[in-house]
Amino acid sequence: MNRRLTQLAGALALILTALANTAGASVRAADVARQFFPGEYQTVLAGEQTVPVLFSEASLPLVRGVIIILVEEGTQNLNLASARELAFALNTKGWHTLVSPSLLVTGAPATQTTETTGETATQPHPMSASVTPAVNYAASQAQLLQLMTALNNYLTSYKGYRLVVASGMTAAQLLALSASDTLAPPDSMITIAPFWPQREYNHELPGLMAQTGFPLLDISTSMANPWQRDTATKRRNAARTALKLQYRQRQLQAVNTASADGRSANAPFVNWLSGEIYGWISYLGW
């Protein structure tokens, strides 16, 4: 009885989370716009959705290229505030930066109904999740493809290297899009704790990373969820066995939530991440 109540409580919590995410999905881009004056952001058209983006130019005369930073809703580290700080840090190293919301689509995927054939339905595995994830994989991937196409079109006049920084579920889908040649590959990608909260998709990540034809900085973190931790070692081993030369995995340990002077809660993480990215870029000779 207690076990049944626990399962029902867990299912209810996930359903409430899905409803909350669905209600908030349409305002994520609007949230970005509300935090800045109209002259402080630009917009791109991703499909039929107008997306506010934050572009900042390099502060050095010798510009190396552009780094796109995708911000995912609900991430602990790479939120909008820390992404802005990271962008400014990279500007001082000679990089233009473009910060954009990733536009994950919430809601369960559509199901197909079929007529009864008398066949016995296949029972799910006892260890599989019994609740549909709150994020729609196919719809999110299609939306992300539209967004990346719009961002690349916006940046056509800017020369140099093109890098992408993404975390969580957004990073997982970027890897899938790149592996399928659906999306034009960047010159390099930085993934932070990539995962997808469905076993069949999450277990594809090590192979997708090993297949990438571009340099990849794979950042794992002990503070991430079990989905990410489950593939951390597998991602590194898959890259090694595939003889992927330009691959590096770095481990982010627990970081203090405030800097020494208390001015910025994001400072330790941003300082560490900007240093890792700059070290990776220097290793590539860019």
Of the candidates 147, 121, 194, the one whose C-alpha atom is nearest the C-alpha of residue 50 is 147
- Percent of the chain clearing pLDDT 70 (strictly above): 72
pLDDT value at residue 35: 80
Which of 10-14, 44-48, 236-240 has the lowest average pLDDT? 10-14
Higher-confidence position of 20 and 231: 231
The CA distance from 170 to 82, in Å, is 17
Confidence of residue 36 (pLDDT cuts 50, 70, 90): confident
Span 136-178, pLDDT tens digits? 899 999 999 999 999 999 999 999 999 999 999 999 999 999 9
Tokens 């969580």 belong to residue: 168
Pick the more confident residue, 126 or 207: 207
pLDDT of res. 252 = 85
> What secondary structure does DSSP assign to 23-87, as a single string?
HHHTTHHHHHHHTS-GGG-EEEEETTEEEEEEEE--SSSS--EEEEEEEPTT-SSS-HHHHHHHH
Please provide the DSSP assignment of 155-203 as one string: TTT--SEEEEEEEHHHHHHHHHHHHTT-SPPPSEEEEES---SSHHHHT
The ranges assigned to domains in the chain are 2-106+133-284
pLDDT at 104 over 90: no
Write the CB contacts of 246 (distance below 8 Å, at least 6 apart in sequence).
188, 214, 215, 216, 284
Name the least confident of 10-19, 63-72, 154-163.
10-19
92 band by pLDDT with thresholds 50, 70 and 90: very high
Report the CATH fold assignment for 2-106+133-284: Rossmann fold (3.40.50)
Asked if residues 106 and 132 have their Cβ atoms less than 8 Å apart, the reply is: no
What φ, ψ does residue 83 adopt, rounded to 5°? -65, -40
pLDDT digits (tens, 9 = 90+) for 227-279: 999 999 999 999 999 999 899 999 987 655 444 444 455 688 899 999 999 99
What average pLDDT does this structure show over 121-141?
Answer: 63
When pLDDT is averaged across residues 195-205 and rounded to a whole number, the result is: 94
| Cβ atoms of 217 and 279 closer than 8 Å | no
The pLDDT value given to residue 65 = 97
Residue 18 has pLDDT above 50, yes or no: no
Locate tokens 């208390």: which residue?
262
- The radius of gyration computed from the CA coordinates of the chain, to the nearest angstrom, equals 20
